Each structure stands twice: as C-alpha cells, then as structure tokens.
Amino acid sequence: MVKQKKRVIFTVLFIVSALLSGCAGNNQTVSDAQELSYSLRTDLYEFSDDELYELLFSEILDSFEPDIWDFMVLEPSKPIDDSIYIQVGVENFEYDLQLGFYYEESGYALYRLPTMDREVVLHYIIDYWQNQRIPDISSWEDMSAEIWG
C-alpha cells in the first residue's frame, strides 16, 4: 500500500515537473527526429541528451533494486504523438512501465504495463528514444482516472 502511494506520488510529481519545464504545454509533435532531444532521470542521476546511449538504459535497468522503488524517466523535448514521457520502476522483480500523454482537449492520460520481462521494457524504452515510436497501448491499463479522479 505504501509503495503504491509512492508510485502515485512520483507520477504526480513528474507531471508537475513536465508542466513546469514546458513539455506538456508544447502541443507540437515530432516531425524531424533531429529536432528532438531527451532528458533522462533516475532516482539518483540526471542525464542530458548527449549522455544517452543504448547500453546506458540497460545498465540502469540492471542496477534496479527489487526492494527499493528505483525508477527511470525518459522525457522528449517535444511530445511524441502526444506522449510526454516514458518511465519505468521496479518492485519485487516486476517492472512497472508507464507512458504519459498530454492531450490539449482532455488533459493528461497515463497508461501502465506491469511486466516481469526486462527485454520488453528495454525494447519499448529504446524504441521510444531511437525511433520516436510509442508502444501500442491498447492492452495497457489506463491509470488516468486513478491518478486524476
């Protein structure tokens, strides 16, 4: 219960941070990958776009501790098809992959995919970063009502 509250608090804090940084208010979508940059945050470190590389994502996932709410948040400088971030946390060896959206007409939406498969998580994060492609979220849990009522 406490860890679930920590997840919700983290998600809300990240959204507030996105609003303050201006990403959520920027309604543009990516048309040219070279115009896009990323920031990466973990519970311990922050990385700028020029510090990101494929192996880094893998190393961060490998460093996650199952009994601590470790996390990583990848945020593009402009929304990718209305997505403003992808994030992952781990608890009890289960990854909690989340994709956040901001829609001008309806506000925020948050989708969650719990999985034990590290390779799935890594694939989605790298695909989001390298190819500016969001996952198919049709089978993901919509957490929007849980977060925003």
Residue 147 has pLDDT above 90, yes or no: no
Reported for 119-127, long-range contacts at CB under 8 A and 24+ positions apart, including other chains, are: 121/61, 121/88, 121/95, 121/97, 122/57, 122/58, 122/61, 124/86, 124/97, 125/57, 125/72, 125/74, 125/86, 125/88, 126/54, 126/57
DSSP reduced 3-state for 105 = coil
Q: Using alpha carbons only, how large is the chain's radius of gyration in Å? A: 14
Residue 100 has pLDDT above 90, yes or no: yes
CA 72 to chain CA centroid, nearest Å? 7
What is the phi/psi pair of residue 103, to 5°? Answer: -110, 125
- Tell me the two tokens of residue 17: 């941070």
Write out pLDDT tens, residues 59-71: 999 999 877 778 9
What is the phi/psi pair of residue 40, to 5°? Answer: -130, 130
What pLDDT sits at residue 117?
Answer: 95
CA distance 16 to 5: 17
Residue 27 has pLDDT above 60, yes or no: no
What is the phi/psi pair of residue 106, to 5°? Answer: -125, -5
List all residues 6 or more positions away from 126 whose beta carbon is below 8 Å from its beta carbon: 54, 57
